[in-house]
Amino acid sequence: MNYIGEIAALTGAFFWGICAIMFETAGKRIGTYATNLIRIILACLFLCFTLFLTTGQFFPVDASRNNFLWLGISGIIGLVIGDGALFKSLVILGSRRATLILSLAPPITVVIAWFFLGEKLGLLAIAGIIITVWGIFWVVNEKNVSEATNGSKLKGIIYGLIGALGQAVGLVFAKQGLSDDILPLAATILRMAPSALVLGVMGLVSGNGTRIINALKNNRALLATLGGAIFGPFLGVWLSVVAVKHTETGIASTLLATVPILILPMVIIVHKTRPSFRAVVGSFIAVFGIALLFLR
């Protein structure tokens, strides 16, 4: 089938948009910590079951020590710290603005790789970073927005930036863990399992056990978290792997980064709010900057 990689990437981006709205809904009802923990546990179960169907193993026990170490660290940084902050940003700013700030993750990843991994950073990549940052700043700095801000806007932006940084640093560590011959599905499990363990320990130490029990009683929040886990960490991750396999990495990465654009009609339908002209144009500008970054 022609363009299977491109179709997979766009579908994956669409699913990540659905995932963001669902996690925003769940986070407002049961809190960001409970949402993050429950969705990682559910995603682990889905991924382990899929691994069993494809390889006959529920868990990648034959992975190397290098895989376990670097992918585990990657998951804790990206999923525990990064996504934990992202969920707070989703609750405060809403899914549209939070996912737009998260678009800073690719430029941050490129800059980190330039500093620490010695990867080249050409003029086109620098231009892409500047355009992306400017487009996001232009939208987030808009004063009259249709979506409500639940709390401090500054805190929402800071949490969004921490989320983008966490994803970027997590990807850099994941690259170290992918040096051996390991299946992408198995690598994803090795990122998520330690994250679930760390979040569980954090809950016990901080006394959040009661909050988790109460969260499990909220059927609507659980349904939203379940849907988010299916569309995001499960189907979204799988489709991104399909996209990278069947098309060029730059094209796949650019199409996967179109979430801020694809989420616009979802916000109109779900939240009954119409993003401003500035929000729409700024989102396109940010994605154009990411395109320059990956297609350089």
Instruction: Report pLDDT digits (tens) over 105-140.
Output: 888 888 887 877 677 778 888 888 889 889 988 888
The rounded distance, in Å, linking the Cα atoms of 110 and 79 is 19
Question: Of 217, 210, 226, 221, whose CA–CA distance to 29 is shortest?
Answer: 221
Q: Which residue has the higher pLDDT, 15 or 247?
A: 15
End-to-end C-alpha distance for the chain, whole angstroms: 27
Residue 36 has pLDDT above 60, yes or no: yes
- pTM of the prediction? 0.86
| Weakest-pLDDT range from 43-57, 66-80, 209-223, 236-250 | 236-250
Average pLDDT, the chain: 86
Band of the pLDDT at 250, cuts 50, 70, 90? low
User: How confident is the model at residue 109, as a pLDDT?
Assistant: 81
Structural domain harbouring 103? 4-294
Rounded distance, CA 103 to CA 140, Å? 12
* Cα 177 to Cα 233: distance, rounded to the nearest angstrom: 19
Q: Quote the pLDDT of residue 236.
A: 85
Helix (H, G, I), strand (E, B) or coil at 89: helix
Please give the pLDDT value at position 115. Answer: 79
Cβ 88 vs Cβ 24: under 8 Å: no
pLDDT at residue number 203: 83
The predicted-structure confidence for 253-291, as pLDDT tens digits, reads as follows 778 888 888 898 888 888 788 888 888 898 999 888 888
Reference 263, options 92, 101, 26, 96; nearest CA is 96
- Do 167 and 82 form a contact (C-beta atoms < 8 A)? yes
Question: How many domains would you assign to the chain?
Answer: 1
Contact 6, 243 (CB under 8 A): yes
